[in-house]
Amino acid sequence: MAANAIVEARAVSKSYDGTVEALADVDLAFSQGELSTLLGPSGCGKTTLLKIIAGLIPPSKGEVWVKGKKIDGPGAERAFVFQDFALLPWANVLRNVAFGLELRGMPQEEREQIARKYIGEVGLTTFEKSYPHQLSGGMRQRVGLARAFAVDADIILMDEPFSSVDEQTRRKFQEEVLELLRHKRKTVIFVTHSIEEAAYLSDTIVLLSPRPGRVSKVLRPRIEREGKNPDEIRRDKVYLDTVDEIWQMLKRYV
């Protein structure tokens, strides 16, 4: 393992049906306690790489190491937040948030106590008994976030988690994720199509080339967030320069 790396992708490649090459020889190390973003043109393999790290699909070649061990499937140290929420339609909010703990065999009273804590942290306390079809898209995504945090995984993998909500809700979610991470020091690997979102959230930004996805560049924006409100950060010269630098590289692929 590289120093301070909690996740490593070593020469990871992925082909589908032996014909479509999604990823080619991806070497990456993700540092503990940081938010790293995978960014690149559509079809470059961002979600594929995230699912390989999650253990949801195997690489065709190469290896993924998590906390010093080679993985061969999902693990309790990793939690996945899906783009399409992936909630249980027959279960209410409380049961959905507690579901990962239920799978681990945790007693009902204990898991529901933990679930209620995180339901409160994402602002859904009064919706514990509601079902997914009764919630807005933004509220369903909050349930997905609460479920990921409830299992207390060291690594949270997020696949475009804010893509289906409006811009105001998206910005609110960005603030909440940063606040939660500030307190819990989780490691997050985050897929997005938004250059601005990547620049705003990330400690590290990984730019992938068009299919087959390869690591094109790794950026560390080093935006000073301490003591600044969100609007000040978005006016910060380092933030604006980062957005422009990413765009100059990505527009070659448009």
Q: What 3-state class would DSSP assign to 82?
A: coil
3-state secondary structure of 209: coil
pTM tops 0.95, yes or no:
no
Residue 183 pLDDT grade (very low, low, confident, very high; cuts 50, 70, 90): confident
* Segment of 18-22, 64-68, 173-177, 218-222 carrying the highest mean pLDDT: 64-68
What is the pLDDT of the chain when averaged over all its residues? 88
In sequence order, the 6+-apart residues with CB closer than 8 A to the CB of 88 are 95, 96, 99, 132
What are the tens digits of pLDDT across the range 23-80?
Answer: 999 999 999 888 999 999 888 999 999 999 999 999 999 999 999 999 989 888 898 8
| CATH code, residues 1-77+157-166+189-254 | 3.40.50.300
Q: Say if residue 167's pLDDT is above 80.
A: no
Q: Residue 107's pLDDT band (boundaries 50, 70, 90)?
A: very high
Extents of the domains making up the chain: 1-77+157-166+189-254
Does 104 have pLDDT greater than 70?
yes
Average pLDDT over residues 138-146: 86
12: exposed, middle or buried (Cβ count in 10 Å: 0-12, 13-18, 19+)? buried
How many C-alpha atoms does 233 have within 13 Å on its Cβ side? 21
For residue 14, the tally of other CB atoms under 10 A from its CB is 23
CA distances from 185 to 32, 152, 188 (A): 8, 11, 9
pLDDT above 70 covers what percent of the chain? 96
Using CA atoms, how far apart are residues 103 and 142, in angstroms rounded to an integer? 20
